[in-house]
């Protein structure tokens, strides 16, 4: 995944407020972000394509989960994979897209140039945080809607728990992505570090080995990793038959409280 280019207005309008300047910056950066095909594909399309591809291509995922308690015994087997795909969407954006963007801004001197204008460099970071959050909403929403419409996946049993875990997963994983980008001098370096974390995280979050058949020792390790805790918590909320995922929620909150201040402290603007 290549780093995105960026176009930053040199100055906010003389008579405009900083809020209006941020709106202009956000719209400009969103247009530039949408021009990067690989970034858009992996952020918005890949999770849904993976879910639909597996659900349509593997016969076992099309058969009902007869060993599950009602009403899930009539749901297709791919249902158990949907929470993992939502976690995958969070991990993809936070570790393969966002860190590269921020490190590229530093590499090209964009943050340094912004410091000489009325638009503070923090606004550029904030604009891209918003873009990535919107991308995550679209990606996760597309996976859920696609799974329900095309594959017949039932909706979550406890939507509020799913929403809570998703919010905490986003804060934890974005904090990890911020830490990856904090010191990387180049976009390529950030990409390499992100991938180094991304692929092992997928293994413990149920992407390679589905959670229901994952060995207990792998599940125990995954519980203490942000992406693994995300997939487990989303699964509990989706099926709603194991109570509240307290351990997963606490792990995600702890990662956020540790990683976000550390990423902010270590972040270099030049």
Predicted confidence (pLDDT) per residue in 85-136, tens digit = 999 999 999 999 999 988 888 888 887 787 677 777 788 888 889 999 999 9
**Rounded Cα–Cα distance for residues 241 and 28 (Å):** 45
CA 228-155-207 angle, 5° bins:
25
Residue 6 lies in a domain: no
pLDDT for residue 268: 83
Domain extent at residue 217: 18-266
Residue 76 · residue 171 · CB < 8 Å: no
Beta-bridge partners for 64: 76
In a domain, 75, yes or no: yes
What integer pLDDT is reported at residue 20 of this predicted model?
Answer: 62
Specify if 1 maps to a domain: no
pLDDT tens digits, one per residue of 4-39: 444 444 444 443 445 667 888 889 889 989 988 888
- What pTM was computed for the model? 0.88
What is the distance between the alpha carbons of residues 234 and 257, in angstroms, rounded to a whole number?
20
In a domain, 2, yes or no: no
- Classify residue 42: in a domain, yes or no: yes
Q: Is residue 201 part of a domain?
A: yes
Report yes or no on 107 lying in a domain.
yes
Query: How many domains does one find in the chain?
Result: 1
Q: What tens digit of pLDDT does each residue of 166-215 get?
A: 999 999 999 999 999 988 889 899 999 999 999 999 999 998 888 888 99
The CA distance from 144 to 150, in Å, is 10
* 11 domain residue, yes or no: no
* Tens of pLDDT, residues 59-81: 988 999 888 888 888 999 999 99
Nearest to residue 43, comparing CAs of 126, 138, 145?
138
């Amino acid at each position: 995944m290549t780093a995105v280019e960026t176009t930053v207005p040199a100055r906010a309008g003389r008579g405009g407020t900083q809020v209006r300047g941020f709106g202009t910056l956000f719209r400009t950066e969103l247009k530039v972000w949408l021009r990067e095909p690989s970034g858009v594909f992996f952020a918005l399309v890949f999770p849904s394509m993976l879910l639909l591809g597996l659900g349509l291509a593997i016969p076992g995922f099309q058969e009902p989960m007869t060993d599950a308690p009602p009403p899930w015994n009539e749901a297709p087997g791919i249902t158990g994979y949907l929470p993992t795909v939502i976690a995958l969407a969070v991990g993809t954006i936070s570790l393969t897209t966002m860190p590269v963007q921020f490190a590229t801004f530093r590499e090209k001197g964009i943050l340094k140039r912004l410091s000489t204008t009325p638009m503070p460099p923090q606004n550029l970071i904030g604009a891209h945080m918003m873009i990535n959050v919107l991308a995550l909403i679209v990606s996760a929403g597309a996976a859920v809607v696609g799974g329900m419409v095309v594959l017949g996946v039932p909706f979550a049993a406890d939507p509020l728990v799913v929403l809570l875990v998703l919010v905490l997963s986003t804060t934890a994983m974005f904090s990890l992505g911020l830490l990856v980008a904090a010191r990387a001098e180049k976009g390529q370096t950030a990409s390499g570090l992100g991938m180094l974390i991304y692929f092992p995280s997928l293994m413990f979050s149920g992407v390679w080995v589905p959670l229901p058949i994952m060995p207990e020792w792998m599940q125990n390790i995954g519980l203490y990793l942000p992406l693994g805790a995300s997939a487990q918590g989303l699964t509990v909320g989706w099926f709603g038959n194991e109570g509240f995922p307290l351990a997963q929620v606490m792990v995600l909150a702890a990662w956020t409280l540790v990683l976000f201040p550390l990423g902010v402290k270590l972040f270099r603007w030049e």
